[in-house]
Amino acid sequence: MTDDGTWGIDLHADDVTRFPGVAFVLWRVCGLSPEAGVALADEAQRHGTVRVLDCRTREEAERVVAEIQVLGVRATAATATTRR
């Protein structure tokens, strides 16, 4: 892996997956508490997207996004300065 700056994981609003499901995915993949996962899911629903995690490399961010997406939650990787 190369160190190419900080990359963020953005969670996107989802009309299908319920907050407890999102919280589980964020706990499983990102290590966030269930309470933090529900709060982030709520924020994504209200604002369209929310930053849930920062990674040191693009490769790490893309790996995390893939794990989140495999579990049925919509997420993308973006540079730390990019907000989607």
Question: What is the second-level CATH architecture of the domain 7-79?
Answer: 2-Layer Sandwich (3.30)
pTM for the structure as a whole: 0.87
Residues 41/72, Cβ–Cβ less than 8 Å: no
Residue range 56-69: mean pLDDT, rounded: 97
Name the band, by pLDDT with cuts 50, 70 and 90, for residue 32.
very high
Q: Give the per-residue pLDDT at 41.
A: 94
Residues in the chain, how many?
84
**10-23 tens-digit pLDDT:** 999 988 899 999 99
C-alpha to C-alpha distance for 81 and 67, rounded to whole angstroms: 23
Q: Give the per-residue pLDDT at 56.
A: 93
Q: Which of 79, 66, 74 is nearest to 29 (CA)?
A: 66
Structure token pair of residue 30:
């990102």
Q: Give the per-residue pLDDT at 26.
A: 97
